[in-house]
Amino acid sequence: MSISLRRIAQACNEAAELLPRQGPITKFAFLNPLQGLEQIHFDKVMEHVGAVYNNKAYLDDYRYREKLRRGRIVESDLLEVLTEELGERAVECVAGLTSRMELRLAMLKHPLHFGHRRELDWVLAETESLKKFRPEVAQESKTEVLGKFKQWAVANRHPTVCATLNKVLGWPEQKCEQLSDSIFSASVPESRWEWVYLQTLWNALRAGVYHAVAAAKQEAMAPNAIVENSLLAHPSMPEFVTSTSDNRVDELMIQFTSAFVDQGFAHSSLPGVERGYWKCFTQIFSQPSLLASRWRRQLWRLARELDQSNIGPLESIQKSLKELAIREADAPAFLGAALLSLRGYAGMIWQTETRPDLFRKPSPPGTLMEFLAVRLLLLTLAKKHPAKSSFSTGMTPSPVSSPPKIIDVEQLAFLLFELAQVLGWSPQALLELNVSQWQTLVAEMYEFGDHQRRRIFHAAFERRLAKMALRTFQLRTLQPPIRPEQATLQVVCCIDAREESLRRHLEELDATVETFGIAGFFGVAMYYRGVGDADFSAQCPIIMTPKHWVTEEPVYSLKQSDRSRARARRFLGTVQRRFQSQSRGSVGGTIVSTLVGPLATIPMLSRILFPRTTAMMNQTARQFIAPPTFTRLHLERSPDCPPAMPRLAADGSIDDQGVGFTLEEMIQLAERALRDIGLTANFAPIVLLLGHGSSCLNNPHESAYHCGACAGNAGGPNARALAMMLNDVRVRRRLLALGLSIPDDTQFIGGLHNTATEEIMFYDLELLPTRKVKQVREASRLLAEAARRNAHERCRRFESADLKITRNEALLHVQNRSEDLAQTRPEYGNGSNAICFVGRRQRIRGLYLDRRSFLMSYDATQDSANAAILARILAAVVPVCEGINLLYSFSAMDPGGWGSGTKLPHNITSLVGVMDGAASDLRPGLPWQGVDIHEPVRLLFIIEATTQTLLKLMEENPTLSNIFRNHWSHLATIDPNTSQMYRFSKDRFVPFRPDADESGREGLATAMQSQDWYQDKREHLPFALIQGLEKSGSTQATAAESCQIGVKELPEC
């Protein structure tokens, strides 16, 4: 009886949920790598995910213990977490020895030996662990314990003690029993008692565990509770993943699949690629080849048969499952495992199929199934020829990250032996235990295993951070809000955690500046093509699909010059492409390398030794052919035309009528953006909309540094588009009718903040009325100074920048980084993200949040009764920020597993992703160099809204509900009226009460300036209140002063 075809198709779709959701690397998607499992509770997923994915869930014990030592985790939090976890069981006495709480705390606090059996043998044989107490045991307690033991031993002459004495002191049989008390105590040297004690303890434990272990073993083997039908919890899933990874199969599949998904790198493309994965594979491999590797020498027969008899992928899967003898009940898990064992490529295939708009050469639906069919076909072949010699690399990597299971007596006994020392269990007490007590003790060890310990550690770590953050927010919100009477400048930035510091510095510099946070696509979801670009890019969060197209065009008077420049660019581009492909060819390569080859040393030397100068020279040279700097966005479309991509009309002209938004749509977007951030009155004369992007060299992950809310693109065009809409008089007139009065004097300006080089540039300045020039110049000076300070603050994180660096040097340093060919860390991106605040900036203005917080502006007092604004804000902000946070967190937990490992051997493949070295699975996730400063924590959302509102929103929006109720992110609220804070835990809100911080301070830590707080420190900092604000006069003076000392005038365009 074989499994039905429908069931196979269904299983394949289910399995696709487990795959990483990373599109092409050029459009880096920050998504939760386990997004498909969000309907399950985080803790439950983590329990299984380590074994199934063969990645680490949570950090290693020693790293948590290191945090414990440095005070990043504190014992009181561990206690709290354990208490919540255990409830009444916490105080229960385990085997009459100690409370469960104490036992678990000891297991957390002390670096116990959980290692491999062979390692233990070595420890027993080569170290003094059976002769000397563990170093944590204090001298006094040691003396006391030994004294009692001595008395007892002398009085009782327990057989175990006697056996020990015989062994330790080399006494003959019976001597121990026969000696009188006084002679006995005299004949054991004082220095030997420690040894005797420990040896007795060890013997007692070993004997006890031996009796108990059989029963306990059965208990541990009991299957874990099945989690809501998920494939993940299938008991044989990890085993299937191992059995479906065969290096020989993988090697072939990697070669073929990368040729199949190639977006245009290879010189000659895969023949027949347009026929789909399955057809293409069977046709190409149906040619006989005698030289093929032995295990697949018969592949061509199979392929030919499949091709000629027109057997589809589903039937082939069915056949393969039968041949591999997979039971029907196991089939879905097996299929899932077969995908997971080559998950990088499988995920990419799935993306080419489900997000065709992200690829130049997408695949038709059903390609993943065809991929799976090929994989199973090859696996059946491989199974017939098991790999033998080491040379054909038929090795399957052993699961490295899954910790060794404690299953044998010695290991358990040794664990208890170490615990007994730190908890002061004496041999005399242990020798009294009965079998059932021993069983409890052993069961306890199993129950609080590796995974559980790390989970508790992680929870305590997150709690520490949450307490610190909530406490700061609570204390600050109890103080009055800070908002300028009449703002001189308003800056709207992305919610990105990197903009937190820029905004803080701006506010610090000038008290009359007001800043706002908005999702970096400014509500304008569009496909955008710049004037020199070949392709459209989707400028909105990856979870959305745009419906509009916008292009950038040179202004009408420069069209001619644009055409000639475009021709020049095309000419140079063609020459360059020729040169590149020729340099890899034979004749051309010879000519090129003999004639101009030696000249390559010049750019190489200059690029590597003088990166910045070279970059500047390049830029100057490029100016001659760059597209004209005066451009406009093609933003408006007549309401009669449906939105469409520009296309070539029949007569050769370009039909771009479908490009842009209608006036009505623009009004909606404009209104929505202003209402979202609560900027509905008190407009400043200048309102800057600041998108952000990043620039760096030699970095396949460049797109990951761009704006996460723009799907890995720079957010400048969106800011520019929104500014254009808001400056449009027709839009403003209609907004007035809608109750939004923007003064005539207010000018919106779009801009782009380069988060790597700290350069800020503005769009459409040529349209600026002359009366505004002075104000804009002031504003740009202020921004330049803020950016300079921002660069300085960022430099504290770079080990290669000195801690004593000055602000100007810092600016130079960050600019150098972005132009350096050898730099693997152009910036740290959102590498320190930990919280996300949604609320009014004035409530928390002045807080030093250490670039750790996403900041979204939202004014609950302006929202409707049904919280319509909050609903739409959270619908975008929560999944976006959660995705960013979890991708960072998972990548930091196991950089080689969830992340893409170190950048050093990365090898770009098919223009869609990177492999490790010569050939490996595609590596989605963030590289180690991007997460090495990240501390994995789930994001803590702090939302300024009532608890009822949030409960209602969770009710309405399943995504929010999944994320918060299943704790993929934590949630807390501040009541907009009473400022009372609540934490969301176990499906309900609990009031939060701040206690004193670790140094016993009741109030907030304060500093005059940001720099005073972060100076000379590299690590994560606690939040603080920056007080310099009130004295705006003085800070402004220093700002003006430093501006005169040669801050570069901003490039104006």
Partner 1 sequence: MLMAICALLVVAPPAALALNMGLSLLLGYRPSERRLALSTQATVVLSSIAAATLLINMLLTDQVQYTLDIGRWVDLPVEHFHFSVKFLFDRLSIPFVILSLVLCGVISAFANRYLHRDEGYTRFFLFFVIFLLGIVVTSVAGTIETMFLGWELVGLSSALLVAFFHNRVNPVANGLRVWTIYRFADGAFLFAALVLHHLTGGGDLNLMMGSKPWPESACVLDSSHALIVGLLLLVAAAGKSALVPFSGWLPRAMEGPTPSSAIFYGALSVHLGAYLLLRVGPMLEQSPTLQWIIIALGGITAVYAGLVGRVQTDVKSALAFASLLQVSIIVVEIGFGLRYLALIHIIGHASMRSLQLLRAPSLLRDHRRLEDNIGYMERTKETTRSDSALTPLRIWRYRFAMERGYLDTILDDWIATPFLRLFRWFDGLERRVVKFLSIGGGRAVAKKPSESDEMEAS
State which residue, 36 or 826, has the beta carbon closest to partner 1.
826
Shortest distance in whole angstroms from residue 634 CB to partner 1: 14
State which residue, 287 or 557, has the beta carbon closest to partner 1.
287
Alpha carbon distance, N-terminus to C-terminus of the chain: 71
- CA 734, 739, 743, 749 torsion: positive or negative? negative
The string over 106-137, giving b where at least 16 C-beta atoms fall within 10 Å of a residue's C-beta and e elsewhere, is: bbbebebebeeeeebeeeeeeeebbeebbeee
State which residue, 451 or 817, has the beta carbon closest to partner 1.
817
Say which residue the tokens 């605040």 belong to: 837
Shortest distance in whole angstroms from residue 142 CB to partner 1: 33
Tokens of 978: 């009473």
Strand residues in 495-630 grouped as ranges (E): 513-518, 526-529, 537-539, 549-554
State which residue, 462 or 562, has the beta carbon closest to partner 1.
562
Q: Quick check: helix, strand or coil at residue 915?
A: strand
Shortest distance in whole angstroms from residue 688 CB to partner 1: 28
Distance, in Å, from the CA atom of 562 to the CA atom of 555, rounded to the nearest integer, reads 9
Shortest distance in whole angstroms from residue 459 CB to partner 1: 29
Shortest distance in whole angstroms from residue 818 CB to partner 1: 12
Distance, in Å, from the CA atom of 908 to the CA atom of 912, rounded to the nearest integer, reads 7
Dihedrals phi, psi of 750, to nearest 5 degrees: -85, 150
State which residue, 671 or 921, has the beta carbon closest to partner 1.
921
Dihedrals phi, psi of 93, to nearest 5 degrees: -90, 130
State which residue, 604 or 616, has the beta carbon closest to partner 1.
604
Shortest distance in whole angstroms from residue 615 CB to partner 1: 13
Say which residue the tokens 């869930």 belong to: 57
- CA 873, 874, 879, 880 torsion: positive or negative? positive
Shortest distance in whole angstroms from residue 26 CB to partner 1: 5
Q: Quick check: helix, strand or coil at residue 916?
A: strand
Say which residue the tokens 């979870």 belong to: 543
Of 381, 371, 345, 335, which Cα lies nearest the Cα of 241? 335
Shortest distance in whole angstroms from residue 627 CB to partner 1: 9
- Burial (CB < 10 A; 0-12, 13-18, 19+), residue 395, is exposed
SS3 labels along 253-310:
HHHHHHHHHCCCCCCCCCCCHHHCHHHHHHHHCCCCCCCCCHHHCCHHHHHHHHHHCC
Distance, in Å, from the CA atom of 647 to the CA atom of 551, rounded to the nearest integer, reads 12
State which residue, 214 or 904, has the beta carbon closest to partner 1.
904
State which residue, 182 or 390, has the beta carbon closest to partner 1.
390
Tokens of 793: 């603050």
Residue 258 belongs to what H/E stretch? helix 247-261
Distance, in Å, from the CA atom of 776 to the CA atom of 651, rounded to the nearest integer, reads 45
According to DSSP, the β-strands at 631-634 and 835-839 are unpaired
State which residue, 599 or 1045, has the beta carbon closest to partner 1.
599
State which residue, 691 or 826, has the beta carbon closest to partner 1.
826
Distance, in Å, from the CA atom of 486 to the CA atom of 627, rounded to the nearest integer, reads 40
Shortest distance in whole angstroms from residue 645 CB to partner 1: 11
Shortest distance in whole angstroms from residue 783 CB to partner 1: 27
Of 460, 461, 468, which Cα lies nearest the Cα of 1024? 468
Angle, helix 409-423 to helix 100-109, in steps of 10 degrees: 100
State which residue, 123 or 625, has the beta carbon closest to partner 1.
625
What is the number of other CB atoms lying within 10 angstroms of the CB of residue 580?
11
Shortest distance in whole angstroms from residue 1024 CB to partner 1: 28
What is the number of other CB atoms lying within 10 angstroms of the CB of residue 762?
25
State which residue, 210 or 610, has the beta carbon closest to partner 1.
610
Shortest distance in whole angstroms from residue 383 CB to partner 1: 19
What is the number of other CB atoms lying within 10 angstroms of the CB of residue 1027?
15
Q: How far is CA 10 from CA 6, 40, 244, 270, in A?
A: 6, 20, 20, 30
Distance, in Å, from the CA atom of 273 to the CA atom of 695, rounded to the nearest integer, reads 35
State which residue, 267 or 1001, has the beta carbon closest to partner 1.
267
Shortest distance in whole angstroms from residue 703 CB to partner 1: 8
- CA 245, 246, 249, 250 torsion: positive or negative? positive
Tokens of 894: 């196991």
What number of residues does the chain have? 1053
Shortest distance in whole angstroms from residue 930 CB to partner 1: 12
Shortest distance in whole angstroms from residue 796 CB to partner 1: 16
State which residue, 286 or 668, has the beta carbon closest to partner 1.
286
Distance, in Å, from the CA atom of 876 to the CA atom of 712, rounded to the nearest integer, reads 16
Shortest distance in whole angstroms from residue 630 CB to partner 1: 19
Distance, in Å, from the CA atom of 139 to the CA atom of 143, rounded to the nearest integer, reads 6
State which residue, 264 or 1033, has the beta carbon closest to partner 1.
264
82 HSE (CA, 13 A, CB side): 25
Shortest distance in whole angstroms from residue 983 CB to partner 1: 36
Tokens of 657: 């009528």
State which residue, 122 or 571, has the beta carbon closest to partner 1.
571
State which residue, 6 or 267, has the beta carbon closest to partner 1.
267
Shortest distance in whole angstroms from residue 122 CB to partner 1: 21
Q: What are residue 168's DSSP bridge partners?
A: none
State which residue, 22 or 920, has the beta carbon closest to partner 1.
920
- Burial (CB < 10 A; 0-12, 13-18, 19+), residue 880, is buried
Distance, in Å, from the CA atom of 1010 to the CA atom of 1028, rounded to the nearest integer, reads 9
